[in-house]
């Protein structure tokens, strides 16, 4: 991964207070974002993450897996062409308004779950 991509990933983590990991290969790009656990939280409380995947040579469609560790539910969005993983990362990472919105049922978000 390019150094500029690593810098962008770190800046996005700092700005959004999310943990972000990204991978890029010839056939697939993946961005996984989740809220990090704070030391004050309960031990078994885990924040769910969102995995976004697309093809570098695709037409801009993004497969979104919500909480991929325990669910197969997914959706597809088409935010338009994304030439680089930097552009994909900017479009894939959404900052939640409420960290526990999914748990409350008010909207889809990063939410939390108990292990």
Q: How far apart are CA 59 and CA 91, in angstroms?
A: 14
36-70: per-residue pLDDT in tens? Answer: 766 665 555 556 788 899 998 878 888 888 877 77
Torsion from C-alpha of 107, 109, 112, 115, nearest 10 degrees = 110
Q: How many CA atoms lie within 13 A of 82 on its CB side?
A: 25
Bridge partner residues of 77 (DSSP): 62
Q: Which of 27-31, 44-48, 80-84 has the highest mean pLDDT?
A: 27-31
* 74's tokens: 């997914």
């Amino acid at each position: 991964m390019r150094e500029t991509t690593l810098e962008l990933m770190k800046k996005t983590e700092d700005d959004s207070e999310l943990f972000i990991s990204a991978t890029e290969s010839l056939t697939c790009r993946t961005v996984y974002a989740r809220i990090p656990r704070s030391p004050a939280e309960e031990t078994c409380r885990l924040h769910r993450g969102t995995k976004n995947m697309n093809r570098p040579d695709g037409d801009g469609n993004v497969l979104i897996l919500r909480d991929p560790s325990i669910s197969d539910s997914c959706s597809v969005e088409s935010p338009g062409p994304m030439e680089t993983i930097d552009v994909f990362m900017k479009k894939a990472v959404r900052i939640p308004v409420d960290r526990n919105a999914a748990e409350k049922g008010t909207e889809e978000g990063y939410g939390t779950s108990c292990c």
